Amino acid sequence: MIQVLGLLLLCSGAATAADRLCIVINGRLKQVDAGNGQVYGVNDDDNIYQWLGSSWRQLPGQLMHVTVGPAGVWGVNKMQDVYKLQDTNWVQATGRLKQVDAGGNKFLAGVNGLDDIYCANQDQVISSSVNVAYIYIDGRLKYYACGPFGCWGVNAYDDIYYRYDVQPTSCQGSRWQQIDGKLKMVEVSSDGSVYGVNSQGEVYRRDGISAGNPTGTSWTKLYFYDIFKHVSYDQGNLWLITEKGVIYKCKMNGSSDPSCY
């Protein structure tokens, strides 16, 4: 079993600049997703892992991207085939996507190899059937993620967009709003928090998000001693993957400062 490796100086508080400690998790991943108290990830060989609190458990199969959330556990392989984890088995679903997200209110969202955007309503996702009817969403995005207050995405130029009026029975929403800043990927947690990574490997958090103001107010840069390619957040824990695949886990202290442990 892959165990927690130990502690490493990783971050400095934006306000105090005091060095702190983060847990370094043994192993290497290219992508990680946290949601509903669960964490899944895939490595460069497309092997799939589930975090069990102190170690990784390898799951059968191969995926290049995996997601976990209210919609369950889903993933896509290098052929862009879509899979759903049912009990302990990966069952192929209809459709082809290069990135998929299960963070919405039991609805599914994702993008294909042409950056076309799709979603599947709650009734399609919670059914035991894997014959999913996808709904096309206007626009082009390379990465799309959803949460309780709506969906966020980034396009090929790293422009950031928010999708309004996304509902479990109407997952396509109504309109786009461009958000200030540039990110190469963005993730939305089950509590509505939004984190992203830019092309320089810097990590940002969107502040001021609420049900009444789902787009928030501004971005706050989180200060680390490394550069990253992927980030995910759930239940107070920020999971980060470096450019070399090193896995970090930091405890957020309720502000923009990652209080690492």
Distance between CA atoms of residues 75 and 36, nearest Å: 16
CA distance 145 to 187: 6
Residue 251: the pLDDT is 87
pLDDT of 127: 87
Mean pLDDT value across residues 15-38: 78
Whole-model pTM over 0.75: yes
Listed range (29-33, 138-142, 255-259) with the worst mean pLDDT: 255-259
Contact 132, 95 (CB under 8 A): yes
Predicted confidence at residue 18, as pLDDT, reads 31
Domain 2-11+18-251 is found in CATH 2.130.10.30: yes
Question: Binning pLDDT at 50, 70 and 90, where does residue 258 land?
Answer: low
Lowest mean pLDDT segment, chosen from 86-100, 170-184, 245-259? 245-259
pLDDT at 257: 57
CA atoms of 204 and 163, how far apart (whole Å): 19
Q: What is the mean pLDDT of the chain?
A: 90
Q: Are 220 and 207 in contact (CB under 8 A)?
A: yes
The β-bridge relationship of strands 159-163 and 72-76 is unpaired
Q: How confident is the model at residue 3 (pLDDT cuts 50, 70, 90)?
A: very low
Please state, in angstroms and rounded to a whole number, the distance separating the CA atoms of residues 19 and 170: 46
Residue appearing with tokens 């501004």: 218
Instruction: Report the distance separating Cα 20 and Cα 45, nearest Å.
Output: 32
The tokens describing 224, both together, are 């680390």
Confidence of residue 21 (pLDDT cuts 50, 70, 90): low
Higher pLDDT, 18 or 91: 91
Contact indicator for 14, 36 with CB cutoff of 8 Å? no
What's the pLDDT band for 7 if we cut at 50, 70, 90? very low
Give pLDDT tens digits for 88-147.
Answer: 899 999 999 999 999 999 999 999 999 999 999 999 999 888 999 999 999 999 999 999
What is the rounded distance in angstroms from the CA atom of residue 167 to the CA atom of residue 256?
29
